[in-house]
Each structure stands twice: as C-alpha cells, then as structure tokens.
Structure 1
Amino acid sequence: MIDFKQLNSQYINGKWREGSSSRKMENKNPYNGELIATYQAATLQDLNDAYTSANRVQKQWAKTNPISQRDIFDKAFAYMEENHEALINVIIDEIGGTRLKAEFEIGLVKNMIKESSTFPMRMEGKILPSPIDDKENRVYRVPVGVVGVISPFNFPFFLSMKSVAPALGAGNGVVLKPHEHTSITGGTMIAKIFESAGLPKGLLNVITTEIEEIGDNFVEHPIPRAISFTGSTKVGKHIGAVAGRNLKEAHLELGGNSALAVLEDADIDLAVSAAVFSRFTHQGQICMSANRLIVHEDVYDEFVEKYAAKVSTLTCGDPTDPNTIIGPLINKQQVNGTVALIEKGIAEGATPVVKGEVKGNVVEPVVFTNVTPNMSIAQEELFAPVISIMKVSSDEEILDYANNSAYGLSGAIHTGNVERGAELAKQMDTGMIHINDGTINDEPNVAFGGVKNSGLGRLNGDWSLDAFTTTKWISVQHKTRQYPYS
C-alpha cells in the first residue's frame, strides 16, 4: 500500500521533480500541527513546462482508441480500490477530515471516474441538412485542448477529480493546481492514480505553488482554452475577469449560503437529521452546506429543541477517531474568522442556544436562534460548524428569507406535500434544491452549479462533456456549386 504523503513534489511532463523556486512550502496536519511534507514551489517556468507538456501529449491522446482510453479509467478505479486505506489516511491527515468524511469523498470520486470513463464513447457528432444543394454539414465534438484546473482545500480529492477526470475523458490535456494546504489530496495523489493506471506521461500535470510565484499566469497562459475553478467567490470573480480578457471559457463553482426550509407539515425528525448532516459534515466546510435554517412558526419550537439536542451529541476532536463527527478547520485563519463571525452574531442580537468551545483548530458547534435575514451570520458564508435558525409564518416569507442572499448554490425544502415543495423550489434563486433531503448532494450525471455569486456554468454528465469540448463544423460540397459570380 502506497504512502501518499511521500508525493511532496511537482508532477510535470510525466516526471516527479522539485519546483524551481527557492520558496519552501509546508504542509501541516490541521488537527495536531504535525509537519506532513515540505516541497519547493513551482515557478513560471515550471508552469510553462506543464502546459507545454499537456499540449504536446494531448494531440496524440485525442487520437487514442476510445476503448483504450476507457481502460485507463477502469484501472484508476481499481487502483483506488487497492489503496483504499491509504486514501483514507491521507484525507484524515492532510485536511482533518473524519473517517466518515473520507469514505464519503472517496465514494464521490469513484462515481466521477466511472462517469468519466464513458466520455470517450460519447464524443459523437451530427450530420445536418443544408439549404445549399448537394452539401453535407458534419458537426464534430472535439476536445478544447488543454484545461487548467484550480481546486480548493475542503473536498480537494473530489473537487479536483470533478474536473480532471471528465476533461481527460473528453480527450484533453490537464494542468492541475491544488490548494497549497492540500497539495497531496487535491493534486499529486491524483497524478499517482492516473500514472499507475497508464495515462500517457505528460498529459496530466500537477503544480503546487503560491500566487506570489505565478500571479495570473495560470489563467493568462496562451495554451489552456478552458479554466475550471472551485473556491471563494472573491477569487472566482477575479479568475473569471482574467479568463474573459483572454477569451477563455471559465467554469466557476464558488461560495454558498444555502437555505434549508422546514414547512409546518414536514416530518420534523427527518428535517432535523437532514439539517444536522447539511451543516456539520466536514465541519461545515462544504460550499453546499446549509448556513440558514428557515422554520415555520408552527413547528419552530419543536424543531429547535430536537435540533439543539441532536447537535449536542456530535463528537468533536481527533479526526482519526472513527467516532468523531466534527474535526478541525483547515487552519488558524479559518478559526479566527469563524470566532469573529460568532462574536458578531451575538453582538447583532442572535441567541446561541448551543455554543461549544474552540480547542486549537476544532470549533465546536454553535447554533443561533433569533436570527434575522440581514444579520451578518445570515448573509455571509459560514465555512464552519455554525448555523442560523430563522422563524417564518408563511410560504411567502420563506421565499423572501431564502432569496435574501447574494449566493444561490444549493437548498432544501422539507414538507409533507412534495408538489408544494417543488413549486416553492422553482421560486428559489438557487442552482440546485432538494425536496425532503439535505443540501449536500452531488451526483455524477446531474447538472451541478449555482447562480448569482455562487458561480457560472454547470458540471457533471453531459454538462461536463459540453464544458470540456467544443464543436467543429466541416461541410462537404458533393457536387459543383454555382456561385453568383466567378
């Protein structure tokens, strides 16, 4: 079984090598501060080598028999099966994920690999009629060429693979830049999986660096034609602007402030379970997490009582303990920002009915009631185990509260009347919403993405195929065409 923590280098042109910068980067366990790995950052030259390599090898990869391409994905899946425990261990160590979270993330990755393995056989085209006599129009689906992928720290294995695997499956080369705190889980571990599966060397490249080394060049470089970014709204807006100036397509999956609504006819026990899962999975460090619980006044007291009781039972602490539900936030900066928001919520008049302690990077759950829609804790993305509960008296008020946000990624509605829930869902300004379920859902064949400050574009299934391919029109004039002049 491989020790993935040894993959503390760059992967460029099919070779494991140190970055060219004198800047040394450190990767630490967010729970105990243990140094996991050190590595030299990549430079502009390393970045150029990576893009040049991906561009060169992609042209041959696009011509490879689709069955042979599919076989590589099958081998990647098998490699993950063989190294399951090693994958779990590095997710726990590098990002502070619990074992439950690690199993969940690995399952998502496997589904994405399986879906992407079908892409080589889905690169079909069309023959279309023409108003010109004896003309045949052929429309081909072709790879965009090279895709640049930037992934975040929260679900790095999955959120990297969510773009990497479909892009490869559609015939592209890829350069992946993982978050500097998750360079292994979000980067080199993926390179190792595909290397072991027999992916052509140089097709997939992984660079780990900091913005001070490369600036906007990851996006501005002339080779990549599409950029896939998952991360904060602030950074995503900048990347979108840079991509636009350079006429590159940008796929942006950004922040969220998801609402979970509980109607008066809901199954309260189910709603409580869904709301707890939707907030506290991976310490709330998920863009789809429910930040706001909007509860009808007829069931508000019952819901709050059961919810607070359930949250109070969640085990916090060491992510290596299989009983732990809430582990550490990724770093002290995230902890400090969370503490500041908690204090601001109290100052603005919210009531913490559950208020845990802060122990190192572990923030124990905080549940706020008496929250109004314009409070900071109801408007800002809470990337932590902190939740706001708001009371409403009508469906109209639910919609007003839910839509009072700059974000629009996910959401959920709990009701005994599915069609009533569906009608409300249609009126919520969000890219995804789930009836009688949690806000955290991602399926490999269903469109994923948000509106407003939650991003641009859709991924998964046919939508990923569209994102990482373009169409080419080739016409054939079978008989001599008569032109108006010669």
Structure 2
Amino acid sequence: MSKYTGVNQQYIGGQWRKGTGKTEIDLTNPYTQESITKIQGAGTDDIDEAYKTAAEAQKNWAEVNAFERSRILEKAVQIMEERREEIVQLLIEDAGSTYIKANVEVDFCISITRHASTFPFEMGGIMVPSVVPEKQNNIYRKPLGVVGVIGPFNFPMYLAMRSVAPAIATGNAVVLKPDTQTAISGGTVIAKIFEEAGVPEGILNVVIPELDEVGDAFVEHEIPRMISFTGSTNAGKHIGEICGRMIKKSVLELGGNNPFIVLDDANIDRAIEGALFGKYMHSGQICMAINRIIVQKDVADEFTKRYVEAAKKIKVGDPNDKETLIGPLINQGAVERILGEIDKAKEEGAEVLLEGSVDGNVMTPYVLKGTNDMSTAKNEMFGPVVTIIPVESEEEALRVANDTEFGLSGSVHAGKYERGMKFAQRMETGMVHINDQSVNDEPLVAFGGEKNSGLGRFGGEWSLDEFTTFQWISVQEEKREYPLQYEQLEDEKKK
C-alpha cells in the first residue's frame, strides 16, 4: 500500500533505509489477512550501528535546553492530535485494533507524551544537609544514556511510547525494537512523529529484526544501560537474566492473570458492564484484561446468567465498524493456542456456558464455568475467553484471586467502599480498581505488577525515576579535619 512507502524501513541515525538482515518481513492485516507491506529486516550490524549512533547523539542531547526538549515533546503531541484519524486507521490495519480500542490507544499516547514534556524541567539537582561541617551535598538527576525499548503487538504504539517519550524527555537516546507483526504502528510511525517534531538525528532509532536471525543481540549489546520490555513473562525472565549478568537496568511489564471479583453486596448491573468491557475490549489481547471472574455464591447465578446473555450481544467482527468491541486476534497461531486451552479446560471438567465460534482470526466470546485449577483460569488467555469461578465467601474469593503466579491488575465490586478498599489492599497485585474493571492506565499513576507480572513502574514520577539515575557531588567548603595522626606520619617519613 502506497501510504506505507518510506516507513516500511529501518530508521537509524535519522535515515530511512533497508535493513541488512536476510529476512523479509511480511506485515499482514489481522482481519483481512492481506499483506500490508514488506520490510527488509535488520541484522546485527544494524543493531550495532543504531546503538553507536544513539550513544554519540545522546552526549549533545543531554545538554539541550530543557525548554527545547519540552517543545519537541509538545510538538509530537500536536502531530498525534492533528493526525489522529490517520493513526487510528493504521492501528486498525496494522494491529487489528477495533475503532474503539485504536482511539483509546491514541489517547494514551497523547497523554503520556504530554506528561513527559514536563520531565525536562525535573532534571535539576537538590541540596541536602551533610553530617560533615562545611560540606555541601548536591544530588543531580541525570539521564541513563542509551535505552533499548522492546514493544509488544497488542497496544503497539502506546506500549512503546510510554518508554520512548519519557526516555527522550529526560535526555536519553533510544533504540526501539517493535514486534515484527506491528512494526509500523509500534515502531516506525513513532519515529516519523518524532522526526517531524524535530528530534535530532540519532536520538530515536528503530530496528526491525527477525528474532531468529539476531538472537539476543539487542539486549546483550554493551551500549544500552537499560532495557524496557513489555511482553510475555518467559521472555521477560530471559531478558532480566541478561540484564542482571551485564549489570544493566531493566523494567519489565509482563503477563497477567487478572481477577474480577464480585462480592455479594455488589451492584450487579455495574459489575456486568465492567466485566464485559474489561474482558472483551481488543478481543482480550490486553495484559490487564480480565482472565477470571470470581463471584460469591449468593449472587453467582444471577450474575452468570445475565453476563452470558450480555456477552452474546457484543458486536464482533470488522474492526472498522465503530461499534465493534471484538475484532481479530493477531494471527492464526493465537486462535489455535486459545482453542487448545479451551479443549483442556473441557477435559478438566469446565462447563461451557457460551460456546464461541471462529471465523478467520475472529473469535466470538467463550464463557466457561469452573475452578481456579482449570487451564483457562491458570493461564493467561489473551483472547475473548473467560472463566467464571463461584466461591462460598469473601475469604475464599481473596484466596482464589491471589492463587496465581501473576499480579498485574484486578478489580473488585462491592456495595460499600470500605469493604472494597479492605479487600483490594489484601490483593497481591500492583493495581486494583474498585467498582470498575481491570483495564486502566493513566499518565500520573504508578503502573506495574507484582510477582511474575514484572519489575518497575511506568507513569508519573515513577517513569521519571526509571529513566534517570542520580549523581552525588559534594563540595568541602572549608578545610576538613580528618582523624589522622598526620604529624606523626610526617615525622616517621623523616626518620
């Protein structure tokens, strides 16, 4: 398609060019399954050049006036606002996003970039008292240097932008590696935006390699002082191990198995609406999506019956339709994986309350009823499948909610605020939303998980801390008295 001409290339040192890798990457529309464009993949030489170019450019970028850095971020916001519909259409075609989800994603990108535009003004220093007489202690916030960012396919633009924008704003240079399935919406369109905004050459680079060809070269390169990764827990563990071995920082936002709890005094209408949106938005391909619905028995029958009936009415299909909530899964492999998990759950005794269907990469809602031990409850579905788990009591609901290796997001519906808050504070998860659903993100909050859901936090002051480091510089203003027998030492030297 002609509109992708130019951005279907690597972006290194401010230049658009073909990669030197051996693999030609074919980007396809997840809904139509038609080819969008082809990209000559990056090789290890491209990765090396991108990092070296970034390291050289960063030296000057860190010294650029804070107002100028902020202006470039603000210009990037303006570009996204002016070209919203174009970006929305790209997300629909490149990532299989529905119109609803694509607009949410653009909103997220605008919000995080707008907030990051304030970061250049937070890069000063502070003076703190010293225990040593006449000593001045200064603590300076400084950029890390070069940051490597690895993005996923599900919210490709935003989950890259939430690292790219803060990193650039704080004086770092970035090398971004998007998922090959969403290389444009998760990579090169971001480069294009910042290029138009006026970011200097080399400050943002995008490389699109085939993983089988380059292996761990992106993470193992000696230049980046930090790797920001969003993706699967297994991949995140591997990246974390490499970063630990090389003494470089890592921020990892990984998988989730997010519970949606309905206590016996909950408003059932609100709970059903929240559960539908939190489960089926973007076909459930969201790390924060609801995976398990845990309901107290006194309201379980009513909730379940009404939820199933409502799930049948959700708009499914063409992501261009503005009312569609469930569009395509990213590829056929995802469809087959999810169907396999459903078959396992059936064998394990799960009751199928709503049997979905598949058309190409589009899957209609599946609703199962079972226990926390069934495959669809233990594993992150990343698709339009949910398992309803009835429980006897509030304490059992809490135990079941916490009985997972993950701890990213969750939600609890309760009739009384105090009850919901008490329950939420005992949940072993980084984020909990009372009388809402689990898919939430805002620019000023601490976003991140516990347990196998990751390390570090994005958003607000937490992003500022993640993408910077600190240097202590002290000044001894008057002669300091040291506890040394200096005169005695001088006498011994003379002898």
Q: Distance in 2 between matches of 1:3 and 1:422?
A: 49
Give the CA deviation at 1:365: 0.5
1:35-60 C-alpha deviation (Å, 9 max, x unpaired): 11111111111001111111111111
SS, match of residue 31 in structure 2? coil
Cα pair 1:6 1:37 within 8 Å, conserved: no
Q: Distance in 2 between matches of 1:255 and 1:4?
A: 31
Give the CA deviation at 1:323: 2.5
Equivalent in the alignment of 2:54: 54
Q: Distance in 2 between matches of 1:352 and 1:26?
A: 37
Alignment of 1:187-202 (within 5 A): 187-202=187-202
Equivalent in the alignment of 1:379: 378
Does structure 1 residue 301 correspond to structure 2 residue 306? no
Q: Distance in 1 between matches of 2:22 and 2:304?
A: 54
Q: Distance in 1 between matches of 2:54 and 2:362?
A: 40
Equivalent in the alignment of 2:430: 431
Matching residue's letter, 2:21: S
Q: Distance in 2 between matches of 1:237 and 1:94?
A: 28
Alignment of 1:124-273 (within 5 A): 124-273=124-273
Cα pair 2:254 2:287 within 8 Å, conserved: yes
SS, match of residue 336 in structure 1? helix
Equivalent in the alignment of 1:316: 316
Equivalent in the alignment of 2:93: 93
Cα pair 2:291 2:380 within 8 Å, conserved: yes
SS, match of residue 3 in structure 1? helix
Give the CA deviation at 1:14: 0.5
Cα 1:320/1:48, change in 2 over 3 Å: same
Q: Distance in 1 between matches of 2:6 and 2:199?
A: 20
1:201-248 C-alpha deviation (Å, 9 max, x unpaired): 110000001222221121111111011000000100000001100001
SS, match of residue 383 in structure 2? coil
1:387-419 C-alpha deviation (Å, 9 max, x unpaired): 000111211101111011111000000011111
Give the CA deviation at 1:137: 0.8
Equivalent in the alignment of 1:481: 480
Cα pair 2:6 2:16 within 8 Å, conserved: no
Equivalent in the alignment of 1:75: 75
Matching residue's letter, 2:82: E
Cα pair 1:5 1:184 within 8 Å, conserved: no
Matching residue's letter, 1:198: G
Equivalent in the alignment of 2:388: 389
1:161-211 C-alpha deviation (Å, 9 max, x unpaired): 010101111110000000000000000000000000001111000000122
Give the CA deviation at 1:385: 0.1
Q: Distance in 2 between matches of 1:383 and 1:168?
A: 31
Give the CA deviation at 1:272: 0.2
Cα 1:316/1:364, change in 2 over 3 Å: same
Give the CA deviation at 1:124: 3.0
Q: Distance in 2 between matches of 1:213 and 1:319?
A: 33
Cα pair 2:219 2:227 within 8 Å, conserved: yes
Equivalent in the alignment of 2:66: 66
Cα 1:62/1:286, change in 2 over 3 Å: same
Matching residue's letter, 1:73: L
Give the CA deviation at 1:481: 2.2
Taking only the aligned residue pairs, the percentage that are identical comes to: 49
Give the CA deviation at 1:467: 0.5
Cα pair 1:258 1:439 within 8 Å, conserved: yes
Give the CA deviation at 1:129: 1.7
Equivalent in the alignment of 1:38: 38
Cα pair 1:29 1:96 within 8 Å, conserved: yes
Q: Distance in 1 between matches of 2:457 and 2:324?
A: 33
Cα pair 1:135 1:476 within 8 Å, conserved: yes
Q: Distance in 1 between matches of 2:265 and 2:4?
A: 49
Q: Distance in 1 between matches of 2:224 and 2:248?
A: 8
Q: Distance in 2 between matches of 1:272 and 1:5?
A: 44
SS, match of residue 114 in structure 2? helix
Does structure 1 residue 327 correspond to structure 2 residue 327? yes
Give the CA deviation at 1:273: 0.4
Equivalent in the alignment of 1:26: 26
Q: Distance in 1 between matches of 2:395 and 2:481?
A: 64
Structure number with greater Rg is 2
Matching residue's letter, 1:280: Y
Gaps of 5+ in 2: 487-495
Give the CA deviation at 1:480: 2.1
Matching residue's letter, 1:393: E
Give the CA deviation at 1:130: 1.6
Q: Distance in 2 between matches of 1:36 and 1:6?
A: 13
Cα pair 1:62 1:171 within 8 Å, conserved: yes
Matching residue's letter, 2:268: I
Q: Distance in 2 between matches of 1:112 and 1:4?
A: 25
Give the CA deviation at 1:6: 4.6
Cα pair 2:23 2:210 within 8 Å, conserved: no
Equivalent in the alignment of 2:490: none
1:422-478 C-alpha deviation (Å, 9 max, x unpaired): 111111110100100110011111001001110111111111111010000111111
CA RMSD in angstroms comes to 1.1
Matching residue's letter, 1:89: Q
Aligned residues: 484
In the superposition, the TM-score normalised over structure 1's length comes to 0.98
Cα pair 1:4 1:90 within 8 Å, conserved: no
Give the CA deviation at 1:5: 6.3
Q: Distance in 1 between matches of 2:213 and 2:124?
A: 41
Give the CA deviation at 1:126: 1.5
Does structure 1 residue 450 correspond to structure 2 residue 449? yes
Q: Distance in 2 between matches of 1:4 and 1:122?
A: 37
SS, match of residue 338 in structure 1? helix
SS, match of residue 48 in structure 2? helix
Matching residue's letter, 1:391: P
In the superposition, the TM-score normalised over structure 2's length comes to 0.96
Gaps of 5+ in 1: none
Give the CA deviation at 1:277: 0.6
Matching residue's letter, 2:189: M
SS, match of residue 11 in structure 1? strand
Q: Distance in 1 between matches of 2:16 and 2:428?
A: 45
Equivalent in the alignment of 1:464: 463
Q: Distance in 2 between matches of 1:68 and 1:3?
A: 31
SS, match of residue 174 in structure 1? strand
SS, match of residue 224 in structure 1? coil
Q: Distance in 1 between matches of 2:196 and 2:188?
A: 12
1:107-134 C-alpha deviation (Å, 9 max, x unpaired): 1111001110010011132111222221
Q: Distance in 2 between matches of 1:114 and 1:85?
A: 19
Equivalent in the alignment of 1:411: 410
Give the CA deviation at 1:65: 0.8
Q: Distance in 2 between matches of 1:209 and 1:37?
A: 15
Q: Distance in 2 between matches of 1:82 and 1:468?
A: 28
